[in-house]
């Protein structure tokens, strides 16, 4: 099944089950994270779907703009850098022994069709990624336990302000601009997944990134297990698995997003993000 978080008027959201193209069945939870917090979430979805088959069906048709970031209140958004062999080489680095991890907050997330407003950066770059949604608590778990704890998979773009990212040794400030990491449109549950994913990124329709998650140095279960050695993961937490080759800063000459550009991020079997950028004035006075 595919789950989404829909916007419902003023700052409200609801979890929803995807029924068909642009049609969703609202579920009794404020978002997918809140749904997953209930260990019986699968039964809740099934019971709601069974009831919806009645004439009083609550199925709604929504526009892309009504899709919220999948996990608007994720407690943890942990990202892995340098995880595809080809991207590692384009960044000029060697294959790693340990995953390179950094943290950001739910404020960084935005919806799958939202306009992304950037203030104060002139080097806005893309990173198309598979993201893993945690479905149950994990602490010092092995890979098998971690695999069992995966609720599903979604699409994200770890949009990065390279000027801020490279100001210091730590990437956080270039990765944590509010409302710049689109995530969605849906989470495909793990039981609907068989094999690896093709991840692609497009700028104004031009394919710029393409990779297969089968080439990840650290796959989803390995990443979750590794992270859980030092911090607990909870239902609704999000782990971004890294980006394949083809980012703008790796090009010759480097290439960044311009005001008005449209970034699309696509994973077969999950869905597509399509976000237009508004790049505002350069670095603000205080930065």
Residues making contact with its own copies (CB under 8 A): 75-76, 78, 81-82, 96-105, 107-108, 119-120, 139-143, 161, 164, 167-173, 176-178, 225-227, 229-232, 284-287
Closest CB to its own copies among residues 7, 76: 76
Q: Is the peptide bond before 185 cis (omega within 30 degrees of 0)?
A: yes
Specify whether the CB–CB gap between 283 and 120 falls below 8 A. Answer: yes
Specify the pairing of strand 116-118 against strand 271-279. parallel
Closest CB to its own copies among residues 100, 276: 100
Min separation Cβ 187 and its own copies, Å: 22
What distance in Å separates the CA atoms of residue 163 and residue 119, rounded to the nearest whole number?
12
Closest CB to its own copies among residues 58, 140: 140
Min separation Cβ 233 and its own copies, Å: 10
- 37: which residues sit within 8 A by CB, 6+ positions away? 29, 234, 235, 236
Min separation Cβ 73 and its own copies, Å: 10
Closest CB to its own copies among residues 23, 168: 168
What distance in Å separates the CA atoms of residue 60 and residue 75, rounded to the nearest whole number?
28
Closest CB to its own copies among residues 128, 138: 138
Min separation Cβ 131 and its own copies, Å: 17
Specify whether the CB–CB gap between 235 and 134 falls below 8 A. Answer: yes
Closest CB to its own copies among residues 252, 286: 286
Min separation Cβ 79 and its own copies, Å: 9
Min separation Cβ 117 and its own copies, Å: 12
Exposed, middle or buried by CB within 10 Å (0-12, 13-18, 19+), for 144? exposed
Closest CB to its own copies among residues 100, 212: 100
231 backbone dihedrals φ, ψ, rounded to 5°: -140, 145
Min separation Cβ 173 and its own copies, Å: 5
Q: Is the peptide bond before 119 cis (omega within 30 degrees of 0)?
A: no
- 31: which residues sit within 8 A by CB, 6+ positions away? 5, 13, 14, 15, 68, 70, 71, 72, 73, 236
What distance in Å separates the CA atoms of residue 15 and residue 25, rounded to the nearest whole number?
9
């Amino acid at each position: 099944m595919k789950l989404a978080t829909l916007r419902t008027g003023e700052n409200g959201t609801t979890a929803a089950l995807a029924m068909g193209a642009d049609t969703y069945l609202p579920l009794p939870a404020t978002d997918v994270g809140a749904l997953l917090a209930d260990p019986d979430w699968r039964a809740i979805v099934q019971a709601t779907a069974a009831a919806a088959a009645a004439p009083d069906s609550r199925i709604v048709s929504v526009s892309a703009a009504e899709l919220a970031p999948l996990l608007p209140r994720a407690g943890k958004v942990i990202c892995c850098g340098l995880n595809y062999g080809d991207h590692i080489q384009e960044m000029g680095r060697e294959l790693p022994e340990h995953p390179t991890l950094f943290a950001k907050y739910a404020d960084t997330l935005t919806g799958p069709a939202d306009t992304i407003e950037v203030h104060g950066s002139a080097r806005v770059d893309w990173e198309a990624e598979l993201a893993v949604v945690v479905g149950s608590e994990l602490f010092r778990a092995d890979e098998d336990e971690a695999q069992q704890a995966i609720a599903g998979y979604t699409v994200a773009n770890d949009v990065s302000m390279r000027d801020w990212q490279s100001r210091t040794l730590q990437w956080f400030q270039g990765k944590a601009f509010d409302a710049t990491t689109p995530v969605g449109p849906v989470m495909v549950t793990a039981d609907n997944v068989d094999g690896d994913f093709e991840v692609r990124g497009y700028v104004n329709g031009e394919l710029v990134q393409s990779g297969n998650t089968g080439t990840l140095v650290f796959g989803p279960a390995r990443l979750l297990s590794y992270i859980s050695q030092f911090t607990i993961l909870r239902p609704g937490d999000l782990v971004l698995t890294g980006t394949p080759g083809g980012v703008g800063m790796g090009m010759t000459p480097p290439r960044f997003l311009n005001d008005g550009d449209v970034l699309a991020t696509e994973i077969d079997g999950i869905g597509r993000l399509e976000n237009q950028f508004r790049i505002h004035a350069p670095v603000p006075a205080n930065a």
